[in-house]
Amino acid sequence: MLNIIDLSVRDVLQGLNLAVKPKELVLVVGANGSGKTTLFNTILGAVKPTKGKIVVNGKDVTNIPQYKRVYWISSVLQDPRSGSIGKMTILENMSLAYMRRGYKRISNKIVNYFKEKLSILEMGLEYRLSERVENLSGGQRQALSLTMSIADDCNLLLLDEITSALDPKSSAMVMKITDKIVKYENKTCLLITHDIKHINSFNGRIFEMKNGKLVATS
């Protein structure tokens, strides 16, 4: 599903290798400054690698620009405010996420599809489609971002410290939703975090970033 081959970014990432299988959940942990976010941004296309290859679903995406790479990779960022647009409604945000693979028209059928996806959150957001996102709490916004990341058929999900800007309660809720999404939506997921407490409740492979390389810990 995701193959990272000999990836280097200046002196931050050094010949990094990683293979993630379809429907697998992989956790990357590491201290601040270890290069986790650089890895995330490089896979996403925001940072250009100095060496190496990134292959998603058999397609070499290394030289594909970020806005085109979203065809294969969807992502959720650290800050809940940067993962959605507060001044737009929930429906408009979901539509934007859905259109990333080139779909143009949002029909009633698609709106119902959005409602179905939002109902996974069990927050009642499916009844608040015309409400502006700025009215939602940080946890709700991050949960919405997660749902937006599965709004289309994109199979690889990149999550970068998605709970770091949230309080413990919201953080637990968002992690529960992430588990649910990976389990029921059959997504391949790469979760990057510095929060060690995720490790205990995690069922999957765990890697640690050390000196710009990934070391398997379990």
Partner 1 sequence: MIISPQELLTCFEIGIIFGSVAVGVYLTFRTINFADLTCDGSFVLGAAVSAVLIKNGVDPYLSLFCSVLLGGVAGLLTGILNVKFGITDLLSGIIVAFMLYSVNLRVMGNSPNITFVSSENTFLITFPLALCLICLLSSGFGLKLRAIGYNKQFALTVGTNVELMTIIGLMLSNAMISLGGGLFSQYQGFCDVSQGVGALVTGLASVVIGEKVLPFKKEPFIVLSCIAGSILYRVFINIALHSDLLAIRTQDFNLITGVIIILIMIKRKKALYA
Residues that bind partner 1 (CB under 8 A): 44, 46, 66-68, 70-71, 74-75, 77, 82-88, 92, 95-97, 99-106, 148
- Provide the β-strand partners of residue 74: 157
- Comparing CB distances to partner 1, the nearer of 152 and 179 is 152
CB of 82 to partner 1, least distance (A): 5
CB of 66 to partner 1, least distance (A): 5
- Comparing CB distances to partner 1, the nearer of 106 and 111 is 106
CB of 126 to partner 1, least distance (A): 20
Pairwise CA distance, residues 16 & 4, whole Å: 7
Q: How many angstroms separate the Cα of 55 from the Cα of each of 46, 126, 137, 185, 187?
A: 16, 35, 36, 22, 17
CB of 70 to partner 1, least distance (A): 4
Contact in structure between 80 and 145 (CB atoms under 8 Å) = yes
Using only the alpha carbons of the chain, give its radius of gyration.
17
Pairwise CA distance, residues 84 & 23, whole Å: 25
- Comparing CB distances to partner 1, the nearer of 71 and 202 is 71
Phi-psi sector, 124: left (phi>0), alpha (psi -120 to 50), beta: left
Pairwise CA distance, residues 106 & 162, whole Å: 28
CB of 111 to partner 1, least distance (A): 14
Q: Using N-to-C axis directions, what is the helix angle for 90-98 and 138-149, rounded to 10°? A: 30
- Comparing CB distances to partner 1, the nearer of 95 and 188 is 95
CB of 141 to partner 1, least distance (A): 12
- Comparing CB distances to partner 1, the nearer of 98 and 202 is 98
- Provide the β-strand partners of residue 81: none
- Comparing CB distances to partner 1, the nearer of 55 and 106 is 106
